[in-house]
Amino acid sequence: MAAVAALYRKRLSQERGTIIKDWGGKTSVALIYPHSYQVGMSNLGFQTVYGILNDHPGIVAERIFLPDEDELAMYRRRNHPLLSLESQIPVRRFDLLAFSLSFEIDYSNILTILELAQIPLMARDRGEDHPLVSAGGVVTFMNPEPISDFIDFFLLGEAEVLLRGFIKTFLALRSSRLAREETLRHLAQEVEGLYCPSFYHVGYKEDGSIGSFEPTLPSIPPRVRVAKQAPMEGFPSTSRIVTPSTEFADTTLVELNRGCGTGCRFCAAGYVYRPPRLPQEEDIKGFIDEILDQNLRLGLISPSVSDIPYIEALTSHILQKGGSFTVSSLRASSLTTGLLVNLGKAEQKTLTIAVETGTDRLRRVINKKATNREILDAVVRSARAGFFHLKLYFMIGLPTETREDVMGIVSLVRSIRHQVIKESKGKKRIGRIRLSINCFVPKPFTPFQWFPMDTVNSLKDKQRLLRRSISAEGGVTVGFDVPRWAYIQTLLAMGDRRVGRMLMATHRNGGNWKQTFRSSDINPDFFVSRQKDLNEILPWDFIDHGLKKSFLKEEYRLSLSATESPACVVGTCTRCGVCG
């Protein structure tokens, strides 16, 4: 596999910050992102875990990614086991495989990687000579059940606090040379946030819903408490490795805050990362000064950068230090002229705003806390502050959505376009408007977890309607996701252990989900298209985020009456249960 090794060495030569450690006397961890190198290295959580693991003197962690088509052909032609990036060592020789999972749609790639590594796909088929297989990342502490047949254990929670306890226990167990089953039992008993599926039994009712979810041993906790770093300690998460081969080329990513208190009812991150946490302004400025000594290009990461109360001062500070920055999504209602001016100075050309819907009514349903008037005001401010293109995110298929709500997108976009043209009068250029219109996918631990997904045919009809209507406007480009893939994402997000059989079947038949559904003994509509009872046991109910289920039910009912609820006030509010 000289060609693959040469490719990996070339990648390494373009990186800054790579960690190469000697293997002698250390526990080896294969840190796996089940997508391409470019996508994986753009993921801040993956980079954070890489740094935490390698900061420990007793661990050597190396990266593995899903091979691209050319690499894949080379591996399969030679029947050679998958190699790590840093030292080009077969993955099956590592002590622990650790998957970092951000998106449900990557689940099928887990099986591809295990197969390439020549490791049994099913956890129950692995023996003492195989590495343990673990997984973490945000989708695992929403609902790990669809992939529970393939993973020995999950680490549910935030890496900064979770890995400390896990590493200490895992290294001690390895020195004791316990058998595989005993190691897993001790981990499940002793590590907060660790979930081992083989120690839990699921019972089903005649209607197919879950009747019971119970541990098989008295020493195993009935619920798994998610580990969280609250309050945030030390420096925020940041890129450990900078490379030109990412979506943020040669840019150091910096996490400005964690969680969001707005409470949008469709957004899992706004619930599973509660309470929202924000470093002190002076602390983050000092930390950014250290980064600027090494790299003047920063990527500021936040659920909504404009919501940071000191964002104008922070971005001014970066510019004064000679640095430059890009930002992630912005909220129209908190987008200030000062921030826009700084974005212009940093030469950011595109503003990304999550508008979500075209009507105020539906925005109240989803608890977005923004009006069409505020959105148009933000467009006016951006046009007056400088030259910007606009990228606007919308969703279709949301609960209670009507045809008027769908056409409201057209009306709002028409008004936005009108304001852009009006404010650009006399200028040489007019900013482009690009729409990204996505299908609503229900997620665990949100008030919308009980709602079904809209049907594929209905979503296609809405897409056709919008495509025809918006194309008539001119000056606006629009992109849609694929309803069929949204259906599969919903299946993987909302399913239970039985969905694992569908994943395996799809892997065996070359990725043909339609064939899988035809031959499945379980109708996938049961997980995707069914309105769930508020009192039924959900596949993820064993996970404890500190959220009261009664709170989510209350938010669900408020959505049906298009009633907004207040934003999160950390420490003084007890509605959701996280703060006591």
What is the predicted pLDDT for the residue at 247? Answer: 85
Alpha carbon distance 121, 150 (integer Å): 6
pLDDT at 284: 93
CB 184 within 8 A of CB 151: no
The C-alpha atoms of residue 462 and residue 486 are separated, in whole angstroms, by: 14
Bridge partner residues of 480 (DSSP): 437
- Packing angle, helices 372-385 and 403-423, rounded to 10: 20
Q: Can you tell me the distance from the alpha carbon of 103 to that of 493, in angstroms, rounded to the nearest whole number?
A: 9
| Cβ neighbour number for residue 492 with a 10 Å cutoff | 26
Cα-based angle 497, 168, 220 (whole degrees, multiple of 5): 40
Out of 3.80.30.20, 3.40.50.300, 3.90.76.10, 3.30.2130.30, which CATH number does the structure's domain 252-494+546-560 have? Answer: 3.80.30.20
Q: Output the pLDDT for position 572.
A: 86
Check residue 230 and give its pLDDT: 77
Q: Could you tell me which residues are beta bridge partners of residue 277? A: 258
CA 494 to CA 145: how far, in whole Å? 9
Consecutive 10-residue runs of the chain (580 residues): their mean pLDDT?
89 96 97 97 96 97 95 89 97 98 97 98 98 98 98 96 95 94 97 97 97 97 93 80 91 94 96 93 93 96 94 97 94 94 94 97 97 96 90 98 98 96 83 96 98 98 96 90 98 98 97 97 97 98 97 98 94 88
Per-residue burial over 134-160, b = 16 or more CB atoms within 10 Å of its CB, e = otherwise: bbbbbbbbbbbbbbbbbbbbbbbbbbb
Task: Give the domain ranges of the chain.
Answer: 2-225, 252-494+546-560
Work out whether strand 543-544 and strand 224-225 pair parallel, antiparallel, or are unpaired.
Answer: parallel
- CA nearest to 345, candidates 385, 313, 314: 385
Q: What is the pLDDT of residue 360?
A: 98
pLDDT of residue 580: 74
Q: What angle do CA 398, 404, 406 make, to 5 degrees?
A: 50
CB 252 within 8 A of CB 289: no
This prediction's pTM: 0.96
The pLDDT assigned to 510 comes to 95
Among all chains, which residue has been given the structure tokens 């105020």? Answer: 360
Q: What is the DSSP letter of 227?
A: B
Instruction: Give the CA distances from residue 535 to residues 142, 488, 542, 553, 559, in Å, rounded to whole numbers and listed in that order.
Output: 19, 25, 14, 10, 18
Amino acid identity at 263: G
Q: How far apart are CA 66 and CA 53, in angstroms?
A: 21
d(CA 7, CA 205) in angstroms, rounded, equals: 52
Asked whether the beta carbons of 58 and 21 are under 8 A apart, the reply is: no
Residue 424 has a pLDDT of 84
- The tens digit of pLDDT for each residue in 90-113 reads 999 999 999 999 999 999 999 999
Count of CA atoms in the C-beta half-sphere (13 A) of 385 = 25
Considering only CA atoms, which of 107, 266, 146, 195 is closest in space to residue 543?
Answer: 195
Residues near 518 by beta carbon (within 8 Å), at least 6 away in sequence: none
pLDDT at 386: 84
